[in-house]
Amino acid sequence: MTRTATATRSGGRAARRALRTAPNFEMLPGLTRGIPLCEVMDGAQVERIDTASMDVLENVGVQFRDPIALQDWKKAGAKVEGELVYLDRGLVRELIATIPSDFTYHARDPKKNVRLGGKHSIFVPMTGAPFLRDLDNVRRNPMLDDLAMFHMLSHMLPAMHSSAHHIVEPYDHPISQRHLRITYSSMKHSDKTFMGMTTSPKNAEDVMDMCAILFGEDFLDDHPVTTGNCNGNSPLVWDETMLGAMRAFCRRNQPVLCSPFVLGGANTPASVPATVAQLNAEALSALAYTQVIRKGAPAIYGHYLSTVSMKSGAPMAGTPEISLMNFMIGQMARYYDVPWRTSNTLGGAKTFDAQAGYESATTLQAVIHAGANYIWHSAGWNEAGMHCSTAKFIVDAEQCAMAYRMAEGPKWHDFDQAVSAVGDIGPGGHYLGHPHTQDNFQEAFFMPDMFDNNSIEQWQAEGCVEITERALKHARKLLAEYQEPTLDIAKNEELLDYIARREREIPAADELNQAY
């Protein structure tokens, strides 16, 4: 090789190395899984769960505590007695058959559009925390600025494919008007897709109106841009608030998560297969109703899974049964050919300690191997969801990036070149200086930023910094480097005008807006 060629190659490699070590906030593409699924049921067991769930729908019934839904079901041909709806399995199968098996979320930045369903998955941060552990690791009530911080971090962390809505509750705004500021923060501080508030039917309509301002009404009608979550009240109840919000989203063709809220052994039988059978019946009843509202509307088989400690009654995370149920629910969702949602890095630890790490890692591995599509609560969750930890938010996101790399499967694109390096080095050598290693080391092996793998002597020399402190330092660095993805000026003004008008119309109150 000539000197010129050597210099060119060296310069190119140095440039690539510099590029690799520079800060990179570019979002990872939506995950396309390349590893096998873990399926713990055979075909006969899947059909056994299906049969049991359909028997529940036909003979036990599901309570729909909502007069509009009851009328809708009567028109659809279901048997309705009071608030109980008895669903014929043929009707259920006919309805859920019209749910799209996959679809694409459209973000404010089209480069951040992501596909969902089948082999396609996304990571979404946690929501709903009434407290946070902040940049000083202090547990306190959150404010709107804290919510904005988490939206900014979601925007910058590559493995987060979505922002969320109320990652933490902003206590400095009235509950009745809070959904407006939460939605605006989701839109303003990130150009990824996001979640929409479903805390009341009126609030959900406001979210849809704000999405129409941001994306355009016509665009909204045939492009998913946000996600609503509708929780069921296990066992076998759907209430007026959730059903009204579901109608607001489905009528505008926006996807909803149909999510039974499972506390295994408390509001389900003390049995893994029986719990899945009940949950499956609950999810199917809501999925079917989305198609009564609007045929072909995107919908996602959802759930929240926890088991209950028979010592204290407290919900538990990271247990073997939760993993088994995730495997089983994944099989049921694929049986019906619908996308499905799960919860990810959950934990009951009060601080970001070893318990938090073990619980979160156990669940993360399970949901990846279960083939979940909408992987919610992927960053920050701690203390059974009572607080969002800033430090854990950072580390969870890196764990998701590691899981993403694993789920892609082995990369074969440079196999021949890599094998040829064996002949170059021969017995007894090392590969650290080989051109293939220099060009491919970072892509070949994931190198976590939040884990310290140095010797104890070096760790001590650098101040004995543990992972919580490292993560908080990294969060401060990210926030210092944050650049807001600026909203279109006209749309921003229209959104602010809409918020101002709705805040005049909705009385400031410490209760949900149900009437205005």
User: What CATH number does the domain containing 139 carry?
Assistant: 3.20.20.480
- Nearest Cα neighbor of 330 from 286, 362, 297, 283 is 283
Number of domains in the chain: 1
Task: For residue 193, give the 3-state DSSP assignment.
Answer: strand
User: Where does residue 1 rank: exposed (0-12), middle (13-18), buried (19+ CB within 10 A)?
Assistant: exposed
Amino acid occupying residue 492? N
11 is a domain residue: no
CA distances from 385 to 8, 90, 381, 394, 514 (A): 53, 38, 5, 16, 25
Q: Please, what is the end-to-end C-alpha distance for the chain in angstroms?
A: 76
Establish if 6 belongs to a structural domain.
no
| Nearest CA among 233, 224, 344, 325 for reference residue 285 | 233
Residue 481 forms part of a structural domain: yes
In a domain, 416, yes or no: no
Q: In tens digits, what is the pLDDT along the chain, a chain of 516 residues?
A: 333 333 344 456 565 555 555 567 899 999 999 999 999 999 999 999 999 999 999 999 999 999 999 999 999 999 999 999 999 999 999 999 999 999 999 999 999 999 999 999 999 999 999 999 999 999 999 999 999 999 999 999 999 999 999 999 999 999 999 999 999 999 999 999 999 999 999 999 999 999 999 999 999 999 999 999 999 999 999 999 999 999 999 999 999 999 999 999 999 999 999 999 999 999 999 999 999 999 999 999 999 999 988 888 888 999 999 999 999 999 999 999 999 999 999 999 999 999 999 999 999 999 999 999 999 999 999 999 999 999 999 999 999 999 999 999 999 999 999 999 999 999 999 999 999 999 988 888 999 999 999 999 999 999 999 999 999 999 999 999 999 999 999 999 999 999 999 999 999 999 999 999
State the residue range of the domain holding 182: 26-410+421-515
Give yes or no for a contact between 381 and 346, defined as CB atoms under 8 angstroms apart: yes
**79, two tokens:** 């048997």
- The DSSP annotation for 106-123 comes to --SSGGG-EEEBTTEEEE
Does residue 253 lie within any of the structural domains? yes
DSSP letter string, 226-248:
EEEEEEEBTTTEEEHHHHHHHHH
DSSP category for residue 58: I
